[in-house]
Amino acid sequence: MKIHFKAIFKIENPGNQRLCPFWGFWHFSHRLSNGNITSNSSKEMPLNFYRPIIYCFNHKKSNSTFPNLITREAYVNGTRCALNILFVKSHMRKYLFNPLVLISILYLIVSMLLFAENHVKIVNDSYRYLEYANNLKTGFYFDNHNFWYFGYAVFIFAVKQIHNSELAIVIAQNILSWIAVISIYKTSKLIFNNPKGAMITSLLSILFIEILAWNSYILCESVYCSFTCISFFVLAKIHRGSTNIGTLTLAVLVISLAVLAKPTGIALLGAISLIAFIKLKVFITNRTLRYSLIFLSCLVLILLINKMLTTYLVMENYQLGEIVYAITTITHKPEYDLLVVSVPNNLFIPSQESFPLIKILSFIIHNPIYWTKLFIGKIFYFLLHIRPYWSIQHNVFSLVVLLPLYFYAIQAVIKKRLKKDLLIFFMAYMFIHILSIGITSVDWDGRFLMPLLPAIFIVASSEIARDFERFISPILKKHKSKLHSEFITDSKESIKYK
């Protein structure tokens, strides 16, 4: 006689039994009274809430859904089978409900939906990145303007060595972005030692879908944002004491690519430099030598910024009164008036022969009110991530998501949730990034904000997790305990075994 075993996990429900087989069968309901269960032993076999019920039946002699006879041997063998299934299921749960697995699944779903919508996007700036990357085949060369996107050009060049297509670049950007999402999860966990806060950080970076949407564009924002997130992770590891050769090498490589992926990469370099200056006191006790190194480093940084600004039309934008870059070059609409500041008749224009930083400082000193209006207007539209020409839904979404995040981030800073050096690092990074936008220009499509958001997500996540524990967790625990007590009561009162 061929015996078949089916292990079934019993979940109680008032009035009936829901039998849920392990191997993906559909749930179904049935009363135990429909079948006769007997044993060679005179004693009944009590079945607790989490204990498997073993059915064994002979397919050749009976078409009954429930067994006519259950022997002790079948019970023992079947129980072993069920326990094995329980063991497998517990391990499946362990890996399936691992935060990194859940994050990866959600990331894959969102990325696939965005790619189905956007495919591969090649826009105006894409061509110069592709051209610079293509010219690297003959060896390194310095381009006055595009050098500040060298990190992105190197990325494109490396991808094209594997497969020479724009689709390969987009796929590589999506893979790198996935690594970045995992990196900020681990960064948040290293900083706050709070898995819930880390999960919130990664969920925000996925569900604020504009960040992932740029993965379909041949633009530097995607790679810059990804390398910045990975840089946060390696810096967090170093902060926790991991100073082996592998970590330090990875840190130098990733930070270099991030800094040179986009001009605003200077924010990351500036933040790291500031922490390095603070730490110099520990390693260099000679005050003269220490201050000399700081002075030389600042001088190099200033010269670097000055060189970077030589190819940007900062003064020309000031003279046009543009808050959003090139808004005056398109067909005028009434709402565009909100994106332009009226230019005064007596506007002071610095000499063209001066260095870019000198020209900017001179302009600010001679036109303080006008420049302040431009600066505040740029910061306003940059941080709130709204535009008069976007849809109402888009603008409302930005405000509903970003304003609470800024509130939580400010709260975390005020309450000093981060250690001093971490707080200085993130504050310096955000300040330099915001300042660089206020001095230069805000982009048309809002992509300049994307590299700033991961830092805000990390800082805000600690406070969001605390409020979750205070307000949401007690409600969930109360509801869970109520359901559990109901199930136990029902299992004792409504089910009898013969």
Residue 458 has pLDDT above 90, yes or no: yes
Query: What is the arithmetic mean of pLDDT over 62-68?
Result: 43
Query: What is the arithmetic mean of pLDDT over 486-497?
Result: 47
More confident residue, 358 or 52: 358
Going from the C-alpha of 277 to that of each of 154, 309, 419, the distances in angstroms are 30, 25, 17
Tens digit of each residue's pLDDT (9 = 90 or more) over 73-119: 555 555 566 555 555 555 555 566 788 999 999 999 999 999 999 99
Find all residues with CB under 8 Å of 462, minimum gap 6, and list them. 191, 192, 194, 197, 412, 417, 418
Residue 72 has pLDDT above 70, yes or no: no
Eight-state DSSP code of residue 448: G
More confident residue, 52 or 373: 373
Give me the long-range contacts of 351-360 (CB less than 8 A, separation at least 24): 355/306, 356/306, 356/309, 356/310, 356/312, 356/314, 357/302, 357/305, 357/306, 357/309, 359/314, 359/315, 360/309, 360/314, 360/315, 360/439
Query: What is the arithmetic mean of pLDDT over 40-60?
Result: 38
| Res. 480 pLDDT band, cuts 50 70 90 | low
Q: Bridge-partner residues for 28, per DSSP?
A: 19
Residue 162 has pLDDT above 80, yes or no: yes
Q: Bridge-partner residues for 11, per DSSP?
A: 18
Which range, 85-89, 306-310, 319-323, has the best average confidence (pLDDT)?
319-323
Query: What is the arithmetic mean of pLDDT over 253-271?
Result: 93
Find all residues with CB under 8 Å of 251, minimum gap 6, and list them. 231, 234, 235, 238
